[in-house]
Structure 1
Amino acid sequence: MALINDNKRFIQWAIALSLFVSVLITLDFIGDYRDGVAWTHLLTEVLILTFSLAGIVYFGRLYHQFAQSKINLLRQDLALANQQAQQWREANRGLIEGLAAQIKKQFDSWQLTPAEAEVGMLMLKGLSFSEIAGLRNASERTVRDQARAIYRKSGLAGRTELSAFFLEDLLLPRQ
């Protein structure tokens, strides 16, 4: 990945330099044309301008290829992570279902409403209030109010204590 970033910087500098040369040559060409400089000199400047513009196009395409390769690497990493997560979920399906059932029982014992229980489960999954509001088509204020109701009914101080209530005993014992 460092090699890709180094090449990316090189290409960015090459594009900037080619653009700078193009601007300077264009300004020089305009001045020389107004001064009546020989057409061979003007032709040379047009040739230099053409090469610098070609450089911009070439390095622009190269930059695009590097960006695409980085995107492809990220997609591969994401696909692998999703595959590993799916394998973990499948291997631990019974444990996950049992934990979900126990969380639901605890929510029932706290007498949470169905909406509060859904918000509580989404909070345990790590979603923010705005993300929960978006998923539930509710306002963020409603979600915050439901979270406060969860804390009040459970006697817990906040999101951290809510998570710890269910996850604390999952930590490996110290040896």
Structure 2
Amino acid sequence: MNRPFLLFALVALQGVCAFFFVADITLTVVGARSSPISWQTRELLEIGASLGLLLGVVLGWLALRRTLAQKAQVEESLRGVQSAFREHLEATFQVWSLTPAERDVALFTIKGMSIQEIAALRNTSDGTVKAQSNAIYRKAGVSGRTQLLSLFLEDLLAEDVDT
């Protein structure tokens, strides 16, 4: 089920089979058949259409299971990356000797929050957050918010030098 073509073919097959049943019922209800088909031919067509629908259900279920497994794997990988990034942040904050308040402000800054938003979240004044931000920038050896963020982005985007 790696190829989208197979899924599209599966959907097309189910569509044709469903169309057969709907058209057959519609033609019977409105009496639009000009000549009846033999019961053997009709039974063969219904068996083929039924098998097509069953095949669609089975393959659809397999595709769903595989997709859910891949989703779970991606989510687990994301949790690992988030945990590693959080550990990296904490280790870097420790190297910079940030106070708990400065750690909070640095984290909110990295998340992209404004000084006003940080002040509201921390229940402090804008001036306090500005002073804490300046202390963070000084300890990190950067001149502002953008450079602070770029320190961590560089770490995330750095290529593995061992390969």
TM-score by length of 2: 0.54
Match of 2:120 in 1: 146
* Letter in structure 2 aligned against 1:54: L
CA contact (8 A) 1:103 1:166 kept: no
CA contact (8 A) 1:33 1:42 kept: no
Structure 1 residue 18 and structure 2 residue 25: aligned?
A: no
Q: Distance in 1 between matches of 2:51 and 2:78?
A: 41
Stretches of structure 1 that go unaligned for 5 or more consecutive residues are 108-116, 128-142, 157-161
Structure 1 residue 124 and structure 2 residue 110: aligned?
A: yes
Structure 1 residue 163: Cα displacement: 4.1
Q: Distance in 2 between matches of 1:74 and 1:94?
A: 30
Structure 1 residue 34: Cα displacement: 8.4
CA contact (8 A) 1:4 1:66 kept: no
Q: Distance in 2 between matches of 1:6 and 1:166?
A: 46
Distance 1:152 1:26, change over 3 A: farther
Structure 1 residue 94: Cα displacement: 2.3
Q: Distance in 1 between matches of 2:5 and 2:87?
A: 40
CA contact (8 A) 2:10 2:56 kept: yes
Match of 2:45 in 1: 48
Structure 1 residue 167 and structure 2 residue 143: aligned?
A: no
> Pairwise CA RMSD of aligned residues?
4.6
SS in 2 for 1:101: coil
Match of 1:68 in 2: 65
Q: Distance in 2 between matches of 1:77 and 1:18?
A: 35
CA contact (8 A) 1:25 1:45 kept: no
- Name the count of aligned residue pairs: 140
Match of 1:104 in 2: 101
* Letter in structure 1 aligned against 2:41: T
Structure 1 residue 32: Cα displacement: 6.7
Identical columns (%):
10
The structure richer in helix per residue is 1
Q: Distance in 2 between matches of 1:57 and 1:104?
A: 61
Cα displacement string for residues 100-131 of structure 1 (whole angstroms, at most 9, x for unaligned residues): 935833x9xxxxxxxxx67x84463358xxxx
Q: Distance in 2 between matches of 1:101 and 1:5?
A: 51
Distance 1:72 1:126, change over 3 A: farther
Stretches of structure 2 that go unaligned for 5 or more consecutive residues are 134-143, 156-163
TM-score by length of 1: 0.52
Distance 1:98 1:31, change over 3 A: same
